[in-house]
Amino acid sequence: MEKFDKLLEYGQSYWLDNLSREIITNGNLENRIENEGLRGITSNPKIFMNAISSGDLYDEQVKKLAGNGKKTEDIYESLVVQDIQKACDMLRPVFDASNGEDGFVSLEVSPYLARETEKTKEEARRLYKEVDRPNCMIKIPGTKEGIPAIEEMLYEGININITLLFSVESYEAVAKAYLNALERRAEEGKPIDKIASVASFFLSRIDVLVDKMLLNDIIPQLEGDKKIVAGNLLGSTAIASAKIAYQRFLKLFSGERWEKLAAKGARVQRPLWASTSNKTEAYCNTRYVEPLIGRHTVNTMPGETIEAFKEYGHLFPNTVQQNVDDAYRVFDDLKKVGINLDEVTRQLVEEGIEKFIEPFNELLETVEEEAK
């Protein structure tokens, strides 16, 4: 607990990147909230697919809903909404004590809608109303089509967690959508002090793809100093991207435009470091935690990352603002060795959508089998 208290003192909240009925019922979630300083939870189709397909905690509810003639999609939604509601209720004390800054539980719109602006709006409104908890956040991907939906939902007063951000430019676009939404509300005399949003910047997937390109395509073709430069880039792109995005955050949430909103009670849209589990054996399990500690940030960690950080993580204030020059140098060196980061991040967005669609399909199939 002391380590997470210190993390909070340094300005960063940690959220759990996992939600299941099991951790709600077995005391695990309650323990993390009360004894380990947990400040929020995120979920996604893959997490729910794993939860529903293992164990029997959902069986009775599925049987009842199927017996009432509910369709597969409706059964899935009933299961998920119930878990979200229970988690929201358990985190409500955190939400109240933090004056609505933390204590949130995130629920994703269907991944099928990643390219559908109007349908995303409809589903976001419906899910937010269905959960009916002030500390629910609706997750919408930061795609080109998602950004207008994000702005509109924030304008309507719905808390939004923007997902699938891989580039600094995409981060900046969703931060501006947040500011636009607040300004629209303020101009109409609507309150803006209760609107909350996080911008989820995905990390480990960036390094997985860039490292693969470096090892398979770039380094074998190079010699001399360029080969050394390329070798030094391994495992460095994600953290560099996050540090540069944080610099944009500091710029966007300061100055005259922001001060006008802050005077009306607006809170900043916090950068959230997502996809923080280590996917490369050679790297430390806390590599996406230790260098990215800073004020007004969130880090979502799966259970294994939390345990690793508790056991041997190092904790220093404001590491996200350290070695920023090195971060810009990484971007320059990527260009020098022939890696186009724009193309990389576009590929990651498309793959990210698919990585949510696949488990969502499996999830619906699992529910359908359970219903039968």
Backbone dihedral region for residue 118 (phi beyond 0: left; psi -120 to 50: alpha; all else: beta): alpha
Q: Name the token pair of 135.
A: 């500390």
Q: Tell me, yes or no, if 190 is annotated catalytic.
A: no
Give the closest residue to 62 by CA, choosing from 72, 54, 50, 51.
72
Number of C-beta neighbours around residue 272 at 10 A: 25
Q: How far apart are CA 137 and CA 247, in angstroms?
A: 25
Orientation angle between helical segments 341-371 and 45-53, nearest 10 degrees: 30
Q: Are 61 and 76 in contact (CB under 8 A)?
A: no
Place of tokens 């004894």: 35
Element (H, E) at 2: helix 2-9
Backbone dihedral region for residue 140 (phi beyond 0: left; psi -120 to 50: alpha; all else: beta): beta
- Active-site position among 46, 119, 129, 139: 139
Q: Are 292 and 201 in contact (CB under 8 A)?
A: no
SS3 for 271-309, per residue?
EEEECCCCCCCCCCCCCCCHHHCCCCEEEEECHHHHHHH
Residue 127 neighbours by CB under 8 Å, 6+ apart: 81, 107, 109, 138
Name the residues annotated as catalytic.
Answer: 139
